[in-house]
Amino acid sequence: MGDSGIIELKDVRFRWPGRTSFSIAVPEFSVASGETVLLLGESGSGKSTLLSLICGTVLADSGVVVVGGTDLKTLSGWSRDRFRAEQIGVVFQQFNLLPFGSVADNILLPLRFAPDRKGRCTDARREAEGLCRALGLPEGVVESKAATLSVGQQQRVAVARALIGQPPILIADEPTSSLDETAQANFLDLMFDQVKVQASTLLMVSHDPRLGERFDRVVRMSEIVTIEREVA
């Protein structure tokens, strides 16, 4: 494994159990610290499975997945959950906000499970408010219920939640799929600005090749992943 990769996969294989067996193989894939990488692939190309392996929500059947210098297989289930909360901020495709929680509740939620990340916030609520301002959300939005926000506003709250406490890695799963072209461009401008400020590594998955010019590197799923399907 390399010296500078903050995400490194080598000879990885994983098979989902079930009647319709779906497996992926990743001979080699790495992301350097501070790099911005766009993973391009259509539905069924293994994007979600690859992200699950990197986040440690599933473990490879064979091979090595190293994140931030740690081999995820060496961690217990509880330790992987803690490690993920500390090291990785995730922007989910469906945002996964608590609808009846306030914006502040949603943004600060990861810090409950990541004491080191919380320790990087001198004043966590003030940092949450600062992220909201930086991401173009209206003044006082931290008091609003998440369910009352527009889709674009919810998306920005999801990014603020992922960035709070400066995790070294940001993973974004199709975060622009529900936005029109103008809103998409504005959202990406804001997200990239914050990634740069925090010196985070960004790994984003999408099916839209037009986004590629914004990233240091574009990788097609077909270049790094082999898919096998068997029907029992």
- Tell me the C-alpha distance between 204 and 175, whole Å: 8
- Tell me the C-alpha distance between 170 and 6, whole Å: 11
* Residue 144 and residue 22 in contact, taking contact as beta carbons nearer than 8 Å: no
Q: Give, in order, the Cα–Cα distances in Å from 228 to each of 40, 74, 93, 98, 222.
A: 19, 27, 25, 36, 12
* Residue 53 and residue 12 in contact, taking contact as beta carbons nearer than 8 Å: yes
Per-residue pLDDT of the chain (232 residues; tens, 9 = 90+): 545 699 999 999 999 887 567 899 999 999 999 999 999 998 888 998 999 999 999 999 999 999 999 999 999 999 999 999 999 999 988 889 999 999 999 999 999 999 999 999 999 999 999 999 988 899 999 999 999 999 889 989 999 999 999 999 999 998 877 777 887 888 888 889 989 998 999 999 998 899 999 999 999 999 999 998 775 5
**CATH number for region 5-231:** 3.40.50.300
- Tell me the C-alpha distance between 1 and 147, whole Å: 44
Chain length of the chain: 232
- Tell me the C-alpha distance between 60 and 50, whole Å: 10
- Tell me the C-alpha distance between 70 and 232, whole Å: 36
* Distance in angstroms between the alpha carbons of the first and the last residue of the chain: 36
Q: Facing residues of 102 across strands?
A: 145
Residue 218, SS3 per DSSP: strand
Global pTM reads 0.90
Q: Say how far residue 19 (Cα) sits from the centre of its chain.
A: 29
